[in-house]
Structure 1
């Protein structure tokens, strides 16, 4: 009865239900993470569920790694209540992120072989493709390619999911970076999906912003520090990719027809994409295994330049924001020309960072 009176009161205030859902999704997601993480930190310290620093780590003390547990529950509760328009898609979406949650949790607790994480990503992506029908079916003229066969669309969607999930995971190397980039990407999707009236996905993006903002308080804390771990990075990376594929899928509908959509996504995901390509190229040039971990990531190079964790994260987040603004401003340019602009900007950014890193090394010798 009290709930009915509240809704009746809000109705008389002329407040749209969509704004109630936006506020509710943000509030529930934010509060759940705020309440859950202190308990998770307490349990992690008692049970010794901590990340031990190694030669590749950018931290020097043991830190809890189960922040992703809070992120997962915050997202599930808020979207279950307020993203009701996801409909049948939500069942497959929830199944997909639950699989990744448990595999990520096992990896944070026991360490799971990379191939098992890959299998989990493939299964989760398959749920989305065949369960909801959301997949890549066109490149909108990029490289002269428009519509693509169904089987190729399935394969391409699978590859994009795997690449972007792991690209997001790879940037989770300094405090605040993965969360900051995730917030920027989600804000871009909030803008996009509300512009095209896809409110359910917009509310999903709002929930992601809420849990990441709430998590940042602890990730950047000195006394209550926690990492999101593979549990968090895989779940958040999957959701961000899901929103990207949804955007591509919707862009091909006659009512929207957003021709530059694939390249706009490159601008939105610029830091994860540039960082992944950068380390792969360096490893290949050095004749080492492209999948072998090293310290050639962008955040490692910023640390070598003398930036601390917070400064590194701020710089890379700002770069991502600049790319998003450029991509949006130039969205009406022919797609192949826009791709060339993205390529030139990306290469220029990497070369500049590398130049100053090499210069700093020479000065310190």
Structure 2
């Protein structure tokens, strides 16, 4: 790869843009051509997702699409963003563990505590081993620099929450995949604007986008024989990678004594990161509050997620995913526009808009029923 880079530099071709283009193209193609084989094997071996209480589908669907996503990202990131694996030694090991746990859960359904133990191990590897952690809250709740042990604990919990939160929004066609594309694009653009030291993260973001777009081609298919879900394998992998890019984004704005590495300052960096990942955060918090209010376990399955509420309004999966993503893009826009105001006020604004979005479908449903009653 380094010889190839030398050839490009001597030819006057910008290496970075070649990596972006080839990373995107190959990640798309690898996923695109891998999924039909996975569907064929899944149907032959009956490795299918059975409809359940939380399901929004009525028939068995292959649910191992996450294998293709991992396969694509694993190959392309190792080639076009190999610097990440030099810098973060335990990144690839963490992805392998998540792949194993995800496949096991998609095939035989693992106990929740076993998945949690694996997620703790993965999070500890990347936080402690690779030193990817939240070091500063930039004044949120009056908190600035975190102590080492507090930083490690807080970062591990953040990883676990985001991995599971992203898993929970994977309930209708196109939502988890579409949202991961948007988040990766927003983080990728941010990394690009923050300088060439962050270019490997830009390439990684493009690789994720390419892989997920290819998956969405099949996930949104109207043909029964070509439809597939990403399963826990895909949702945990994407949740982990988005948590990784999120924490790296916050960490960029910390002044660290690294030679020849420019550092930046944006007081609202953690809140902007929260705004980008606001959907899984708000959706998870909302369903937990509802379950606790009804004296149920936070882990009990139900249909109180935002996407379930939109389906209740007789919207299709595609329309529901589109409206949800569009609304939360609006929140990101608001957060970016007001990024220079007080960080606590901005956090309140972002969370308020997030929870408002969670209850807009309920308000519309009540108004529609009242209108029917009066007629």
Using the size of structure 2 for normalisation, the TM-score is: 0.92
Q: Which stretch of structure 1 is more off in the superposition, 70-79 or 241-250?
A: 241-250
**Number of aligned positions between the proteins:** 363
Contact 2:85 2:91 in 1 (8 A): no
Contact 2:69 2:212 in 1 (8 A): yes
Separation of aligned partners in 1, 2:88 and 2:27: 17
Q: Is it true that 1:216 corresponds to 2:216 in the alignment? A: yes
Separation of aligned partners in 2, 1:186 and 1:244: 10
Number of the residue aligned with 2:236: 234
Number of the residue aligned with 1:137: 135
Question: Displacement of 1:265 after TM fit?
Answer: 1.1
Contact 1:181 1:317 in 2 (8 A): yes
Moved over 6 A (4+): 3-9
Give the 5 Å matches for 1:311-330.
311-330=319-338
Structure 2: which 5+ residue stretches go unaligned?
257-262
Number of the residue aligned with 1:250: 252
Number of the residue aligned with 2:276: 268
Question: Displacement of 1:56 after TM fit?
Answer: 2.5
Residues 94 and 359 (structure 1 numbering): CA distance in 2 closer, same or farther, change over 3 Å? same
Separation of aligned partners in 2, 1:87 and 1:289: 39
Residues 244 and 6 (structure 1 numbering): CA distance in 2 closer, same or farther, change over 3 Å? closer
Q: Which stretch of structure 1 is more off in the superposition, 3-12 or 257-266?
A: 3-12
Number of the residue aligned with 2:23: 25
Number of the residue aligned with 1:336: 344
Question: Displacement of 1:13 after TM fit?
Answer: 6.0
Number of the residue aligned with 2:109: 111
Contact 1:252 1:258 in 2 (8 A): no
Contact 2:66 2:234 in 1 (8 A): yes
Number of the residue aligned with 1:356: 364
Question: Displacement of 1:362 after TM fit?
Answer: 5.2
Q: Is it true that 1:203 corresponds to 2:208 in the alignment? A: no
Separation of aligned partners in 1, 2:6 and 2:274: 44
Separation of aligned partners in 2, 1:301 and 1:90: 40
Question: Displacement of 1:305 after TM fit?
Answer: 1.0
Give the 5 Å matches for 1:70-89.
70-89=68-87
Question: Displacement of 1:363 after TM fit?
Answer: 5.7
1:91 counterpart SS class: coil
Using the size of structure 1 for normalisation, the TM-score is: 0.95
Number of the residue aligned with 1:188: 186
Q: Is it true that 1:151 corresponds to 2:153 in the alignment? A: no
Number of the residue aligned with 1:281: 289
1:290 counterpart SS class: coil
CA RMSD of aligned residues (A): 1.9
Question: Displacement of 1:15 after TM fit?
Answer: 2.4
